[in-house]
Structure 1
Amino acid sequence: MKISTRFISIAASVVALATLTACVAPAPVYHTSRYPYQAPPQAVPYQEAAYVEYGHVANIEVLRSETAGTGTTGGGAVAGGVIGGVVGNQFGHGSGRAAATALGIVGGALLGNTIEGQASGPRAYESYRISVQTDRGGYRAFDVQHPGDLRIGDRVRIDNGHISRM
């Protein structure tokens, strides 16, 4: 059984394109939320007993943060150029094939660099700071990803660092 070089070339192009496409998926984001708010273990030398407080939501703030992008390394441009060259080489004959290959290399490099730039670009995040005025007159703040059903003025219970609506 004879396998044509054109088939192998197309199969290699598809595999290379699939590999480059995997670079498009955004990097996983690890949020450093402080919900429920608890002091770090090293700050508390002994185990505290469970403590329940009551109060009401005084304020809910939106906290916006942005991570800086890492920029491009050139790997996306190289991979895109290789894939574009292989795909461009499949078209035309003679000098037309050379032109298609050159166009594929340039186009693939530009596309690969753009994809890498988007995957490693800056990202904006939102979280919420819920301020609670306790019945004893103090204030406590909780940084959470989503405020859920909490609204300003809601009566809440703070049970061992966990905030819940009453």
Structure 2
Amino acid sequence: MRKFLLLLLMLPLIVTAAPYNRNEARPVNDVVFGQIESVRYITQQEVINSQRNGWETLLGGVVGGLIGNQFGGGTGREVATAVGAVAGAGIAHNRQQGQTVIEYRLVEVLIKTDQGKLIDVIQDVDQTSVFNRGDNVRILYFNDGVRVDKEF
């Protein structure tokens, strides 16, 4: 269910914001000119559970076992070693479980074309091309997406 929701949230990003390098020549299918009606900067967060390989848990178990081995004598020492190993592994395992948040900075641009249509595009933020209401822009249509640039 989470994967479906994540895919659903990322669909506008996938459909409208194709990877695009400004210094890359690409064939353009169509160019439409217009003027920006509104600009909205948004973020999209993706939470990723950290997945480590378990070496930290193993090391925690070994260290816990060594510490537990320092207590008691005979059978008590064996029990203390086992309890220390389990506790050390549990602490290390719980410590390593974490989440990483990746934040995508996006801009949503509503454009009124020269033909009078309204087109909404969501794309990644480019600091070299900051949009403002009233800017003249061009909408570039590619095989794999759309890109908005300022008209120069």
* Unmatched 5+ stretches in structure 2: 1-5, 19-27
In the alignment, does 2:142 pair up with 1:162?
A: no
Quick check: 1:138 aligned with 2:117?
Answer: yes
Which residues of 2 match residues 9-24 of structure 1 at below 5 A? Answer: none
- Equivalent residue of 1:84, what SS? helix
8 Å CA contact retained: 1:55, 1:134: yes
**Is the contact between residue 83 and residue 105 of structure 1 (CA under 8 Å) also seen in structure 2?**
no
Q: Is the 1:81–1:112 contact (alpha carbons within 8 Å) kept by the matching residues of 2? A: yes
Residue type at the aligned position of 1:156: V
1:106 aligned partner? 87
State the match for 1:93 in structure 2. Answer: 70
Residue in 1 aligned with 2:17? 35
Q: How much has 1:165 moved relative to structure 2?
A: 0.8
Give distance in 2, aligned partners of 1:122 and 1:56. Answer: 35
Aligned residues: 120
Report the Cα offset of residue 115 of structure 1.
Answer: 2.4
Contact preservation (8 Å) 2:56, 2:96: no
1:151 lines up with 2:131 in the alignment: yes
Give 2:108's aligned residue.
129
On the 8 A contact 2:106/2:122 being kept in 1, the answer is: yes
Return the offset for 1:124.
Answer: 6.1
Q: Partner residue of 2:22?
A: none
Q: Deviations over 1:20-47 (max 9, x none)?
A: xxxxxxxxx99552215xxxxxxxxxxx
- Within 2, Cα distance between the matches of 1:55 and 1:80? 56
Look up the equivalent residue of 1:95 and give its one-letter code.
G
After superposition, the C-alpha distances for 1:80-109 in whole angstroms (9 at most, x for unaligned) are 654322112334535286546634532431
Distance 1:114 1:89, change over 3 A: closer
Equivalent position SS for 1:88:
helix
* 1:156, distance to aligned residue in structure 2 (A): 0.7
AA matched with 1:162: R
**Aligned mates of 2:105, 2:62 — CA distance in 1:** 42
Percent identical pairs in the alignment equals: 17
Question: Which secondary structure does the structure 1 equivalent of 2:66 belong to?
Answer: coil
Deviation at 1:125, TM superposition (A): 5.0
Inter-CA distance 164–61: structure 2 relative to 1 (3 Å threshold): same
**8 Å CA contact retained: 2:36, 2:136:** yes
TM-score (norm 2): 0.54
The alpha-carbon deviation at position 150 of structure 1 amounts to 2.7
